């Protein structure tokens, strides 16, 4: 065959690769910046803040408001820094039997309030809707303080001791309005499903996180809680009744709201960990629990939680710390 006849064939093969080469060049050109690939970390370092969106003054203020106002409900007490380096407390995970309901009631003496398993930013719109739906005659609504004044009662919202939860009170003259609280509990409970689904829109806490401090004073371990004693007692009373219900291992024996105390029967970790050989060569022929008094001591705007041995059995500092970490885990 003549060589002249091969030229068109070679030209066709070359032209066949041209579109692929052009496409590759375009793709690589888009990826290249300060190197072969585009480093998106540079985008974040070069970002400048944009000016805030300002609505015109002529807008209808009843129509254009904050969709989810964030109450600056101040948490009582001050934040305690430099917490002790401790092991993570036992979490109230699903399946432990301690996961809270969406709405629960707490009580100390004649004072009652609700604990809602949602951020205060998600609960506030529900309180507004409750006040309007019941025609309570709203006189003043202050989202920054978490207070709704009505002609019948005052609704107060603040963050609860446990992260991600809120406390709601319905009072008049500083006293709990039982009928109002009952109606509010029923109203919030009926909306628990939709509220739980929408609470993810509010990711930030409305007030600073409470920080518990586990500290050692001389030979005694203590927990410093930046909350008043009545709130702490009500929360511990609720969870101790749920968790300390295992006969022979941990039981709630008695409570005293007046003295802010609990008497529990508890088997320490060191006792649970005794092997058969240690049991044989000891005075006790079986693993045993012991009585321990959990005492709350008011200290200004803080509360000190202590674990005091109320039995004749040994109660070491490690045992004391182990129990305090377990109990204080209810408040985290």
The tens digit of pLDDT for each residue in 209-243 reads: 457 888 888 889 999 998 899 999 999 999 999 89
C-alpha distances in angstroms, 17 versus 21, 22, 95? 6, 9, 62
> In which domain, by residue range, is 325 found?
213-331
pLDDT at 312: 87
- Give yes or no: residues 158 and 245 share one domain: no
Reading the block at residue 114, the tokens are 């609700």
Is pTM beyond 0.75? Reply is: no
**Measured torsion, CA atoms of residues 233, 106, 212, 94, in degrees rounded to the nearest 10:** 120
Chain position carrying tokens 């709601």? 168
Which residues in 294-311 are b (16+ Cβ under 10 Å) and which e? bbbeeeeebbbbbbeebe
pLDDT in tens, 8-34: 555 555 555 566 666 565 555 555 444
For 200, which DSSP code?
Answer: G
Please indicate, yes or no, whether residues 324 and 237 belong to a single structural domain of this protein.
Answer: yes
Helices assigned H by DSSP within 199-291: 229-243, 269-272, 276-280
Answer whether residue 98 is part of any domain.
Answer: no
Whether 70 contacts 143, CB under 8 Å: yes
Beta strands across the sheet bearing 220-225? 213-217, 220-225, 302-309, 290-299, 261-266, 250-256, 245-246
How far is it, in rounded angstroms, from Cα 21 to Cα 100? 62
Confidence grade of residue 205 (pLDDT, cut at 50, 70, 90): very low
The predicted structure's pLDDT at residue 236: 93
Q: Clarify whether residues 220 and 318 are in a common domain.
A: yes
Please give the span between the terminal C-alpha atoms of the chain, in angstroms, as a whole number.
89
- CATH number of the domain enclosing 269: 3.30.310.80
Same domain, 218 and 131: no
For residue 68, the Cα-to-chain-centroid distance in whole angstroms is 19
Among residues 149, 174, 201, which one ends one of the domains?
Answer: 201
pLDDT digits over 268-315, tens only?
Answer: 887 776 655 555 445 555 567 889 999 999 998 899 999 999 998 888
In angstroms, the CA 312 to CA 304 distance is 24
């Amino acid at each position: 065959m003549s060589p002249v006849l091969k030229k068109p064939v070679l030209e066709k093969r070359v032209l066949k690769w041209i579109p692929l080469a052009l496409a590759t060049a375009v793709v690589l050109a888009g990826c290249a910046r300060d190197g072969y690939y585009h480093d998106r970390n540079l985008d974040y370092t070069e970002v400048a803040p944009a000016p805030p969106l300002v609505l015109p003054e002529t807008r209808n203020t009843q129509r254009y408001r904050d969709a989810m106002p964030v109450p600056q409900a101040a948490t009582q007490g001050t934040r305690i820094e430099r917490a002790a380096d401790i092991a993570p407390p036992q979490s109230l995970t699903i399946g432990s039997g301690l996961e809270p309901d969406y709405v629960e009631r707490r009580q100390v003496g004649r004072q009652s309030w609700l604990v809602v398993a949602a951020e205060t930013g998600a609960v506030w719109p529900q309180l507004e809707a409750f006040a309007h739906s019941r025609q309570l005659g709203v006189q003043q609504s202050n989202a920054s303080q978490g207070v709704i004044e009505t002609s019948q009662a005052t609704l107060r919202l603040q963050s609860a001791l446990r992260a991600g939860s809120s406390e709601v009170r319905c009072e008049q003259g500083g006293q709990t309005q039982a009928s109002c609280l009952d109606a509010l509990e029923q109203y919030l409970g009926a909306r628990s499903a939709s509220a739980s689904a929408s609470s993810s829109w509010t990711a930030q806490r409305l007030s600073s996180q409470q920080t518990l401090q586990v500290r050692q004073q001389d030979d005694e371990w203590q927990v410093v809680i930046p909350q008043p004693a009545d709130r702490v007692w009500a929360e511990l009373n609720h969870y101790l009744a749920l968790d300390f219900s295992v006969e022979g291992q941990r039981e709630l024996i008695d409570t005293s709201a007046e003295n802010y105390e609990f008497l529990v029967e508890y088997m320490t970790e060191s006792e649970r960990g005794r092997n058969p050989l240690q049991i044989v060569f000891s005075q006790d022929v079986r693993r045993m629990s012991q009585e321990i008094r959990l005492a709350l001591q008011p200290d200004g705007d803080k509360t000190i939680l202590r674990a005091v041995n109320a039995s004749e059995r040994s109660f070491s500092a490690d045992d004391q710390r182990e129990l305090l970490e377990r109990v204080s885990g209810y408040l985290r």
